[in-house]
Structure 1
Amino acid sequence: MSISCSDCFSDLLCVEDSNIIFGEDSLDCSSDLDSQSPDVEESIAGLIEDERDFVENIHSTTQNLDASTRAEYVAWIIKVQKYYGFQPLTAYLSVNYFDRFLHSHRLPKMNGWPLQLLSVACLSLAAKMEELLVPSLLDLQVEGAKFIFEPRNIQRMELLVLRVLDWRLRSISPFNYLNFFANKIDPTGTYTMFLTSRANEIILSNIQEASFLDYRPSCIAAATILCAANDLPNFSFITAQHAESWCGGLHIDKINGCYGLMRQTVISNRPRKQPTVIPHLRVMNRASISSDSSSSSSSSSSSSSFSYKRRKLNNGLWMDDDKGSSD
């Protein structure tokens, strides 16, 4: 269903000068932090410092949005991310913009098409930030989108999101820490790929849970790598106490809380297998089998011989041969 919302939001049109938006002054909107200082420890310390802008109470102040409603639209974002093969960071940034927008701005209706329009706009902005190839705005509305919006309306919503977020699209994410924390556990690099790949899966499976909004990206990354490491026998001894020492700014109680919540989500998302029904078999020893075989064969032969001792009379009655007829 196509919706024209040109008159629905009076503040969708931004008042910024086009020279400011598209001028020569480039905005710091990149979330790619690979070009940081060669000193990795210093780079991580800088990321921790940048987390000072983290909104501590965003979970309780997202305009009273119902958790199940939020999960519904986040799930749609993840479906589109998988459909087009976007990076996990693209999905994470989309949800990040979605939550930050609702923390600072109230929509006319906190359900239905306004949230769908917001989801599309946030996903579009994140894809433009991180992906080399971005589908058209119409093609982006797949995977069961409830409403189909005209491109011009999505663009206007994008401008509103940019204005509400103060054009700050660069956001620290748990993905920025994964390689660093994985190398802390396994300096040889043998299991680094497994740890980071498994951590990516765990992060994506958890961003639907609003409870994780209470934790900083570095804490989520530490708990995620800890969760992935505990799946390997070689690193099952790694605890939150070890993780706290990986860099400054990590706290054991926060890591434990995030880790516990994460394990609950991982367990609840595991597919449940139907129990295998094994037919009841009677187990007998060889002696009883021999005995039963001989007894059954003798009983079979006796019943066989007994059957031959009977004959059917012409009148339809049965009579044993050994008794004979008195007539």
Structure 2
Amino acid sequence: MLLSCSDLLCGEDSGIFSGVQSTECSSDLESPSFADESIAGFIEDERHFVPGVDYLARFQSHSLDASAREESVAWILKVQAYYNFQPLTAYLSVNYLDRFLYSHRLPLTRGRPMQLLSVACLSLAAKMEEPLVPCLSDLQVEGAKYMFEPKIIRRMELLVLGVLDWRLRSITPFSFIAFFACKLDSTGTHTGFLVSRSTDIILSNIQQASFSEYWPSSIAAAAVISAANEIPNMTLINLEHAQTWCDGLSKEKIMSCYRLMHEHVFDSSPRTPRKIFPQLRVAIRARLRSNDSSTSSSSSSSSYKRRKLNNCFRVDDDKGNTE
């Protein structure tokens, strides 16, 4: 039996997902055709989808374990790569985890409770964004230290949903990067590269708790500028110019995030710069796919994982009833 994503969570209130396609608070990679006023609306509302201002201070005071969070995020990224989930799925998972940790205290900040929270957050994010979602037992791959029964994970999902007030359709940096990329490159020559590279940069920094003090718009602006620095004719971009992209942007926050991004992402992980090729003007779709469907069948391991997904896309309760 196959179910829609909304059916996989809870059938008690089918209306809870009735507005997930609304552009008022969409977490997809938004089209640059949105007016400045729409992006400004995202900036105004983004404060509701981030942990509180003292979240980072809790790690600094050791009331929360930064290393445990880092391990959880690393595991989420491994599973995202294993199943070829969208970058947005991984980011949402971490967003749910951070917002939950800020509002609800776990009995332990590492070990089984933290692993269970990570699985539940990834499962919820996958159900929000992925067309095919592995069953809960198969989601626990890539070095998961503990294995949990589906009914235990579902209980944790409901706890997370309650703590987040069922607000899963979050505003993220991916709500801004296409718009900012077009502001930076009005000709559209390198827009595709800017969006793709910015996505890589954003995923590269989410393991660091220090980025949690920046709102999505600042992270997106800093990432787009960092990506532009890899394009020869854009290396002299003025950071202060980013503030003019839309009302509500903070020059100080963007510059601070940009410096932190280079400290944690670039300086600690030296790599060979990508070769830049001119591109035709691109039309940014609502979502960026991590792989092309025309070439996905070329990898035997990818085909195996896809078969595994199809076999597992069933009601978890069927498994739970046999336990």
Classify the TM-score, shorter chain. 0.7 to 0.9
CA contact (8 A) 2:47 2:215 kept: no
Taking the TM superposition and a 5 Å limit, the aligned residue runs for 1:10-21 are 21=12
Residues 19-45 of structure 1: per-residue CA shift (max 9 Å, x gap): 7x3344645445455789964212201
Secondary structure at the counterpart of residue 108 of structure 1: coil
Taking the TM superposition and a 5 Å limit, the aligned residue runs for 1:125-140 are 125-140=124-139
RMSD over aligned CA atoms reads 2.1
- Alignment match of 2:54 (pick from 51, 54, 57): 57
Structure 2: gaps (5+ residues)? 1-9, 273-323
CA contact (8 A) 2:30 2:174 kept: no
Residues 251-292 of structure 1: per-residue CA shift (max 9 Å, x gap): 2111111000101122202259xxxxxxxxxxxxxxxxxxxx
CA contact (8 A) 2:27 2:171 kept: no
Of residues 63-72 and 211-220 in structure 1, the stretch that sits farther from structure 2 once superposed is 63-72
Of residues 54-63 and 220-229 in structure 1, the stretch that sits farther from structure 2 once superposed is 54-63
Amino acid at match of 1:267: D
Tell whether 2:107 aligns with 1:108: yes
Structure 1: gaps (5+ residues)? 1-17, 273-327
Amino acid at match of 2:216: P
**Per the alignment, do residues 245 and 108 of structure 1 end up closer, same or farther by CA in structure 2, a change over 3 Å counting?**
same
Paired residue for 1:224? Answer: 223
Tell whether 2:264 aligns with 1:269: no
Secondary structure at the counterpart of residue 137 of structure 2: coil
Return the TM-score normalized by structure 1.
0.73
**Per the alignment, do residues 124 and 25 of structure 1 end up closer, same or farther by CA in structure 2, a change over 3 Å counting?**
closer
**Per the alignment, do residues 155 and 187 of structure 1 end up closer, same or farther by CA in structure 2, a change over 3 Å counting?**
same
Tell whether 2:37 aligns with 1:42: yes
State the alpha-carbon separation in 1 of the partners of residues 233 and 214 from structure 2.
28
How far off is 1:60 after superposition?
A: 2.2
Of residues 138-147 and 47-56 in structure 1, the stretch that sits farther from structure 2 once superposed is 47-56
Return the TM-score normalized by structure 2.
0.74
Taking the TM superposition and a 5 Å limit, the aligned residue runs for 1:1-327 are 21-24=12-15, 26-29=17-20, 31-32=26-27, 39-53=34-48, 54=50, 55-61=52-58, 64-265=63-264, 266-270=266-270
Higher relative contact order (CA 8 A, sep 6+): 2
Paired residue for 1:320? Answer: none
Amino acid at match of 2:72: Y
Secondary structure at the counterpart of residue 189 of structure 1: coil
State the alpha-carbon separation in 2 of the partners of residues 51 and 179 from structure 1.
17
CA contact (8 A) 1:36 1:43 kept: no
Secondary structure at the counterpart of residue 168 of structure 1: coil
**Per the alignment, do residues 180 and 120 of structure 1 end up closer, same or farther by CA in structure 2, a change over 3 Å counting?**
same
State the alpha-carbon separation in 1 of the partners of residues 252 and 53 from structure 2.
16
Equivalent pairs, count: 254
Residues 93-130 of structure 1: per-residue CA shift (max 9 Å, x gap): 00000010010111111110100000000000000000
